[in-house]
Amino acid sequence: MSFFPFTSSTSTTEKMEENKKEEKPGKQVTEPESDIPEAILELQIETKEATIDRVLVHLEELENKIKEYQKRNDVLKEEQQALIRRLIKQIEEKEKERDEKEVVTRDDVEESLKAIFQYVKDKEQLFKEYYRDALNAVKEEHKSLFDRHLKLLSEQALKSAVGYLDKNCRREIQENEWLKEEVKIYRKEVSDLKASVQLLEEENTSLVAKLIDTKLQNQIGSRHLFLTEAAGLQEGFPKDEMEVEYREYAAKADGEESLRSATVPCQRKKAFPKVQSKTEDETQDSEELRKKFFTTAVDRLLYEDEDDFQAYLKLGPLKRKLYVVGRAVPTHHKEQEEMPSRSDREDGSVGKSDGHITAEMIRALFKENVD
């Protein structure tokens, strides 16, 4: 260190002061006139010592600062070395990753760029759609507000115009408004009547279909009875004659159904002439659907009955199966006698209603057939 010369100078000055102190008494005795320069020297020495002390204090402060700076430099060096080691480690890791990574070709770069461009295009399309939807919503809102404002202005203008009219014109305007309300009520009633008429027609068609089903079931029941009661007379009634009779009955049933399908729209025309004049196309479509429904239902039932009848023909005498001993008596004559009475009753009911079939009559007939 460069501070050792200062310490040696201080030690030498101390020795000189001691020697001077030892020599002062003798000099005072011997040389009393030399006190003034010695005092000056002492003063100079004291000032020098004070300056030396200040310098020493300053040096101590500097030494402390140097130590602090050295410590700080050591800490900074350690941090710098740690940072360098970390950077070196990161560089090594990046180099390893770069070595481990696959080689990126031009195709890969093009695909990534295409994906980025597609993503940007999709975003632009989304923004366009959002802007268009927002613009449409704003337009609709603006249009609704404009229409509302225009309506309010027209109402106010109408009120102000009515205020300048005379009583007759006001009365005509009020009557016109009242007629508009009445027309609305009338249209509503017409729609309700159309709906009720349609419901009645559907109910009538369902009732007619049920009547057809019940009649066919009654005819099937009579054949059952004929085959069971007249089983011993099968030799007298060959299969060919029975088949001919069944075919005649089927043709007769087809004729009745065609007549019914023809009479129903005619009766409806008589019952509802005004409604039909307004809705000819709708009734035409409903009639075509009704005819299809009747023909398909009748054909289905008749073909099924024919199959059943052919099965009944192959049954043979049922004496052995039923274990009933009795006399074989034909009962078809009674059925032929009963049928005209039923037809007479139907003719009488039709004559009473002047050729119009009502829903109540159909319900009554349906209940009788069911009972």
- Same domain flag for 353 and 246: yes
In a domain, 173, yes or no: no
Q: Which of 264, 259, 297, 260 is nearest to 283 (CA)?
A: 264
Give the model's pLDDT for residue 19: 54
Say which residue the tokens 């009502």 belong to: 358
* Packing angle, helices 35-100 and 4-30, rounded to 10: 170
Question: Per the structure block, which two tokens stand in for 306?
Answer: 């024919």
**Residue 232: inside a domain:** yes
Among the residues of the chain, which ranges form H helices?
4-30, 35-100, 106-163, 167-229, 239-271, 273-278, 280-313, 319-322, 332-352, 359-370
Last-in-domain residue among 41, 64, 87: 64
pLDDT digits (tens), the chain, 371 positions: 444 444 444 455 555 555 555 544 444 444 555 678 888 888 899 999 999 999 999 999 999 999 999 999 999 999 999 999 999 999 999 888 887 776 778 888 899 899 999 999 999 999 999 999 999 999 999 999 999 999 899 888 877 877 777 788 878 888 888 999 999 999 999 999 999 999 999 999 998 888 888 877 776 555 555 555 544 444 444 444 445 555 555 555 555 544 444 444 444 444 444 444 444 555 565 566 555 555 555 555 444 445 555 554 555 444 444 444 455 555 554 444 444 444 444 444 444 444 566 767 777 776 666 55
| pLDDT given for residue 233 in this prediction | 45
Considering the domain architecture, whether residues 150 and 203 belong to the same structural domain is answered as no
Q: Are 201 and 286 in contact (CB under 8 A)?
A: yes
**Within this chain, do residues 133 and 275 fall inside the same structural domain, yes or no?**
no
What does the block give as tokens for 178?
Answer: 């009242």
Residues 201 and 324 placed together within one structural domain of the fold = yes
Pairwise CA distance, residues 330 & 350, whole Å = 33
Contacts of 194 (CB under 8 A, 6+ apart): 275, 279
Instruction: Please name which of 193, 257, 44 lies closest in space to residue 52, comparing C-alpha atoms.
Output: 44
Q: What's the full length of the chain, in residues?
A: 371
Residue 168, judged by CB atoms within 10 A of its CB (0-12, 13-18, 19+), counts as exposed
CB atoms within 10 A of CB 357: 20
Is 50 part of any domain?
Answer: yes
Residue in the block written with tokens 């074989």: 328
Domain membership flag for residue 100? no
| Residue ranges making up the domain that contains 209 | 196-370
Last residue within a domain, chosen from 19, 46, 64: 64
Is there a contact between 254 and 298 (Cβ–Cβ < 8 Å)? yes
Per-residue model confidence (pLDDT) at position 5: 42
End-to-end CA distance of the chain: 140
Structure-block tokens of residue 235:
């030799």
Question: Alpha-carbon distance 224 to 331, whole Å?
Answer: 11
Whether residues 157 and 201 share a domain: the answer is no
Q: Total structural domains in the chain? A: 3
> Do the Cβ atoms of 307 and 218 come closer than 8 Å?
no
Q: Is 131 exposed, middle or buried (0-12, 13-18, 19+ CB in 10 A)?
A: exposed
In a domain, 57, yes or no: yes
Question: What backbone phi and psi angles, to 5 degrees, belong to 47?
Answer: -65, -40
Answer whether residue 105 is part of any domain. Answer: no
Global confidence as pTM: 0.26
DSSP 33: G
Residues 6+ apart with CB under 8 A from 204: 264, 359, 362
Residue that is last in its domain, among 117, 148, 164? 164
Say whether both 260 and 313 belong to one domain: yes
Q: Are residues 296 and 216 in the same domain?
A: yes
Owner of token pair 């923004």: 127
- What's the pLDDT at 57? 93
Cα–Cα distance measured from residue 131 to residue 212, given in angstroms and rounded to the nearest whole number? 66
Q: Domain for residue 41, yes or no?
A: yes
Has residue 233 been placed in a domain?
yes
Q: Do 286 and 204 form a contact (C-beta atoms < 8 A)?
A: no
Three-point CA angle 159, 160, 165, nearest 5°: 90
The whole-number pLDDT of residue 166 equals 79
Whether residues 284 and 233 share a domain: the answer is yes
Report the alpha-carbon distance of residue 103 to residue 101 in Å, rounded.
6
Based on the domain organization, do 358 and 240 belong to the same domain?
yes
